[in-house]
Structure 1
Amino acid sequence: MATTRMTSPPLLVPRTLVSQLLHLYDYPDPRRPGRLIKGYDCPHALRTARMCAAVAQRMGHQPARIKQYQIACILHDLGRAGLDRRLFGRIWSWARAQGIPTRPREWRVLHPETRYGRETEAFVSRYRGAMEAAGIELNPWACEQVEMRLGYARRLAARLRAVKPRLRELAVTWSPWMSRIMLYYYYPEKLKGAQPWVRQLAEILVACEQFEAYSNQRRGRDYYVRQREDVSEAFAYLDALHGEGIISRPVVQALRELAAEGVFDRVLEEARGRSLSSRERTFLRRAGQESLHAG
Structure 2
Amino acid sequence: MTGKGGTGKTTVAAALALSLAADSRHVLLVETEGRQGIAQLFDTPPLPYEERRVAVARGGGEVKALAIDVEAAFLEYLDMFYNLKRAGYALRKMGAVDFATAIAPGLRDVLLTGKIKEAVTRRGKDGRPVYDAVVVDAPPTGRITRFLNVTGEVAGLARSGPIKAQSDGVMAVFRSPQTAVHLVTLLEDMPVQETADAIAELTAARLPVGSVIVNMAAEPLLPAASLSRTAEGRLIGADLLPALTAASVHGGVEVADGLAAEAVEHAQRWVAQDALRGEVEALGRPVVELPLSVTPIDLGTLFELADRLEAILTTEAAA
TM-score normalized by structure 2?
0.30
In our comparison, the structure showing a higher alpha carbon Rg is 2
TM-score normalized by structure 1?
0.32
More strand as a share of residues: 2
